[in-house]
Amino acid sequence: MRIYQTFDDIAPEHRRGVIAIGNFDGVHLGHRAVIDEAGRIAKAAGAPWGVLTFEPHPRMMFTPDTPPFRITPFVQKSRILDELSIDFLVVLNFDLALSRMPAEAFVESVLVDGLHARHVVAGFDFVFGHQRRGTAQFLEAEGKKRGFGTTGIGQVVDETNEIVSSTRIRAFLADGKPREAARLLGRPYEIVGRVTGGDQRGRTLGFPTANLMLSATTQPAFGVYAVRAGVEENETTVWHDGVANLGYRPTFGGTTPVLETNIFDFADDIYGKHLRVALIEFIRPERKFDGVAALTEQIKRDSEAARALLAKAGRKA
């Protein structure tokens, strides 16, 4: 997958493509319907398949004081899109100038002059342009005038007949329901980052941990999870079972939230390596214990519970 940040860099073979357009935070099953339809049309037309998205997320500019809400930071989002085998990704810088651009000008400067789009696919709720005038109906009318095709994707619902949305995914994570979030994402929710050095307390307890500081993303419920930890190995990801605590570590008076992951049957030094921690099942809320001995016994029970839950869930490839 080729990533572009300016239209001048777009290679000739990626012009006249079929473009899926949206913010795609989470790249959940509703987003996949948009992206996959663009891929289907591109394949039928023998055209390049692309995705157009925006960074930072527009909500971060319009409501900068709201708590962290993103499900997938850009690095994660681009990795997921790359795994879908799209040909190219265009990332537009969402700033004040772009937010004030009239919808007509967006179509002309971005879709026509910038991308030379052959066909544009968007979700039912995607809007663009100043005062959100760029609706699906507007895009269809502009396409007819300017010579590109359009497809609008309707609501995608789950087996409960509820709309698949990023809002529901955030709510499931906040409620300690990672399995429900995974059902809408089409994959487990992951916390990713570089393994940082800690205070080595887990090692002294007999449960060494790989620690990740939390990024500015949506906050899952604090507590203990059965997880699968993906360790970076020679540009591939090797998955291992584990148990993780997400939170402040109140037994030791922690003040900064951190994800501490004990990877089962694993002793490699992975400081500085990239780690992906997939939340599989919530075991219990975080709580303060009356001393190290009580905490150690609970960690043993948590580990046993995690092993049982992961065996039931099946191993990730």
List the CATH number of the domain containing 284. 2.40.30.30
Same domain, 31 and 88: yes
Question: Counting beta carbons within 10 angstroms of the beta carbon of residue 298, is it exposed (0 to 12), middle (13 to 18) or buried (19 or more)?
Answer: middle
Nearest to 232 by CA among 170, 173, 297, 276: 276
Same domain, 219 and 141: no
Half-sphere exposure of residue 81, counting CA atoms within 13 Å on the CB side?
33
Q: For residues 124 and 261, what is the distance between their CA atoms, to the nearest angstrom?
A: 39
Q: For residues 145 and 238, what is the distance between their CA atoms, to the nearest angstrom?
A: 50
Half-sphere exposure of residue 314, counting CA atoms within 13 Å on the CB side?
3
pLDDT per residue over 23-56, tens digit each? Answer: 999 999 999 999 999 999 999 999 999 999 999 8
Asked if residue 159 is part of any domain, the answer here is no
Same domain, 13 and 73: yes
Tell me what pLDDT residue 316 has: 47
Q: How much is the mean pLDDT over the chain?
A: 92
Domain that holds residue 202: 178-313
Task: Report angle CA 217, 220, 223 to the nearest 5 degrees.
Answer: 135
Q: Provide the number of structural domains found in the chain.
A: 2
Report field, pTM of the whole predicted structure over 0.85: yes
Q: For residues 195 and 3, what is the distance between their CA atoms, to the nearest angstrom?
A: 26
Phi, psi of 8 (to 5 degrees): -65, -25
In this predicted structure, the answer to whether residue 166 has a pLDDT above a threshold of 80 is: yes
Tell me what pLDDT residue 254 has: 73
pLDDT per residue over 179-238, tens digit each? Answer: 999 999 999 999 999 998 766 565 666 788 999 998 888 999 999 999 999 998 888 899
Pairing of strands 223-233, 274-285: antiparallel
